[in-house]
Chain A
Amino acid sequence: MLDRESTFAQPEIVKLLKTSFVPVAIDQAYQRRQQDTEGDFYRKIAGQGPRSNFNGTTQGFYIATASGKLLLYNNNRDPEKVLRLMQQKLAEFKASGEAGADTAGIKASKVDERYQPKPPVGGLVVRVRAKVLDGYEPTLDPWQRIFQTSMSRDNLWLSKAEHDALVGGTIPQSLQQRIAMYHLVDNTRGEPPMWNEKELRKIDMKITDGKISGVAHLQAAKSERGFEANIVGEIETKDGKVTRLDFVAKGDFWGEGQFTKNAPKGRFPLAVSFTIADGTDVADQIPPQASRGWVRGYIQE
């Protein structure tokens, strides 16, 4: 999120990525483990950098040639520094023989299916975005300001049975539970802790004449973190398909997680919005964060 709002909001970096590089975004926890052609190519590149132990994280920005030669590893998020390094490495690339060299495209001779999660056939992908609406102390720190105004992005996956139930006018318990436990979270400052079944105190959603309404109550065992929200929305269907699914959960959130520090003090208003992903956004293809390495547990078909 920080990178999206800082490095990749810098106009010159955006322009360079559009015109002079082939940009790719990956969850390296997959690529460094994948036992296939793509994993081999990733490890070939990352292994030339300082993070060559593939039992640990290899996160960062990499610039590499199509032949797999590493030109840059950087894990500093300062947009000015990233821009300077990109310009420098691009100039070096153009001056080298690599720029004019013919390199063959790599065909995937082996695909590790464990790391190729796909949305359920006949189901739905729903965009989920969250924002803290109020409660932060004023700050002059530009990085903190990014966190304080940030909007998160995740996807919710529905099975075909859940989609069909929505068409019939009901919201199955499995879907309500998934929405509550994995998507009613404050992920605006980093990777959030999800809720477990004991922490799910209440989720009750219903459809009445095309209107969605509901309440949710999530609370950690020692009450150090919680969310009490109302849910309001609308649903439309046509010819056996859900054509619109818009709803918002809004209420009081409190607490923070190991990677979501610096939440507002006490209770603060958090809104989480849901809308059908129409496939026009590349992020529509990203698996839900809660499904990471555990798709069957997430979707529980």
Chain B
Amino acid sequence: MLRLRAWISVGVLMICANPLLADEADAKRNGPLTHAEFLELHKELQPADEPWRTIPWKIALLDAQRSAAELKQPIFIWAMDGHPLGCT
């Protein structure tokens, strides 16, 4: 097992250190958009694990007020210039 890990590490180092492979990676990021890269980028830009999206945000203050009254909890208001869940 240790030997296998060592070989994998050497392989990773060789790939990272190989300027030809590094150039290839740069060219892929900086070159024209292919169909295969579209699929890859599209997946990369739809992350499923963003913590802020797991928070049960309300987007209407009166909805929040009614829930706060019912649950007897304080309201946390995130008020920004531009909508904080979008905009940027």
- Chain A residues at the B interface, C-beta cutoff of 8 Å: 1, 3-5, 8-9, 11, 14, 17-18, 20-29, 31, 37-38, 41-42, 45-46, 57-66, 68, 71, 86, 89-90, 93, 98-106, 108, 127, 129-131, 133-134, 151-155, 187-192, 211, 229-233, 246-248, 250-251, 269, 271, 273, 275, 281-283, 285-289, 292
Contacts and interface: CB of A to CB of B under 8 A. Distances in A.
Chain B contact residues (Cβ within 8 angstroms of A): what range? Answer: 35 or more
Contact of B84 (A3, A103, A151, A189): A3
A278 to B, nearest CB: 11
Contacts of B65: 41, 66, 68, 105-106
Contact of B33 (A192, A230, A292): A230
Given A21-B73, A24-B57, A273-B42, A248 B33 contact: yes
A90 B81 CA distance: 26
B68 A27 contact: no
B69 A105 contact: yes
B38 A1 contact: no
Given A4-B84, A14-B55, A187-B88, A105 B26 contact: no
Given A21-B76, A71-B74, A89-B74, A29 B81 contact: yes
Contact of B38 (A232, A251, A282, A285): A232
11 contacts: A8-B78, A11-B51, A18-B55, A24-B57, A24-B64, A25-B59, A26-B84, A42-B79, A64-B75, A250-B37, A273-B45
Contacts of B37: 232, 250
Q: Give the most central of A5, A14, A26, A129: most B CB within 10 Å.
A: A26
B46 A24 contact: no
Contacts of B61: 24, 26, 31, 38, 41-42
Nearest to A246: B42
A187 B58 CA distance: 24
B30 interface: yes
Majority DSSP secondary structure for residues of B touching A: mixed
A24 B58 contact: yes
Contacts, number: 247
Nearest to A211: B35
B76 A282 contact: no
A191 B88 CA distance: 6
A5 B52 CA distance: 8
Interface pairs A-B: 6 shortest CB-CB: A105-B66, A286-B86, A24-B64, A273-B45, A28-B79, A66-B68
B17 interface: no
Contacts of A28: 79-81
Nearest to B84: A25
